[in-house]
């Protein structure tokens, strides 16, 4: 299951995708271009809708163990950023996208960390 915000081992983490409401941009790391188009589309829609609703920046990041984490942040002084709404929406996404996140974690563990599927 994806977790909300971790500051540990920042240098061992791998960014999956980022949506930025300030620059109106979405980024999917090149390393994940091989994902099925339907998965890439679902990630893009989910992330962009999130930042359109609450503002700020949303990042999906794998930690060193292959756990997919959802991180949100905002620019200092951004009075329109909805911090409470952000936390609630993260929990909702974790619940509704649980299968997607588990599949992405398995993909990452097998193809990037080299863990056997039975062990992952």
Question: What pLDDT shows up at residue 6?
Answer: 37
Judge whether residue 71 has pLDDT over 70. yes
- Structure-block tokens of residue 76: 């200092």
Judge whether residue 5 has pLDDT over 50. no
Rounded CA separation 96/42 (Å): 12
Judge whether residue 119 has pLDDT over 90. no
Question: What pLDDT shows up at residue 26?
Answer: 98
CB-based contacts of 28: which residues, under 8 Å, 6+ apart?
16, 17, 40, 43, 44
Query: Is the CB of residue 70 less than 8 Å from the CB of residue 93?
Result: yes
- DSSP string for residues in 5-62: ---TTGGG-EEEEEEETTTTEEEE-GGGTTS-HHHHHHHHHHHHHHHHHH-SEEEEEE
Mean pLDDT for 43-70 is 96
Of the pLDDT bands very low, low, confident and very high (cuts 50, 70, 90), residue 9 is: very low
């Amino acid at each position: 299951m994806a977790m909300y915000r971790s500051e540990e081992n920042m240098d061992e983490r791998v960014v999956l995708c980022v949506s930025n409401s300030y620059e109106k941009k979405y980024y999917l790391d090149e390393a994940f271009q091989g994902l099925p188009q339907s998965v890439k589309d679902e990630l893009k829609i989910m992330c962009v809708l999130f930042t359109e609703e609450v503002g700020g920046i949303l990042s999906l990041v794998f930690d060193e163990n292959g756990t997919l984490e959802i991180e949100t942040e905002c620019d200092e002084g951004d009075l329109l950023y909805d911090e409470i709404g952000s936390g609630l929406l993260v929990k909702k996404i974790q619940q509704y996208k649980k299968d997607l996140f588990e599949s992405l974690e398995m993909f990452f563990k097998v193809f990037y960390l080299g863990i056997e599927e039975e062990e992952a």
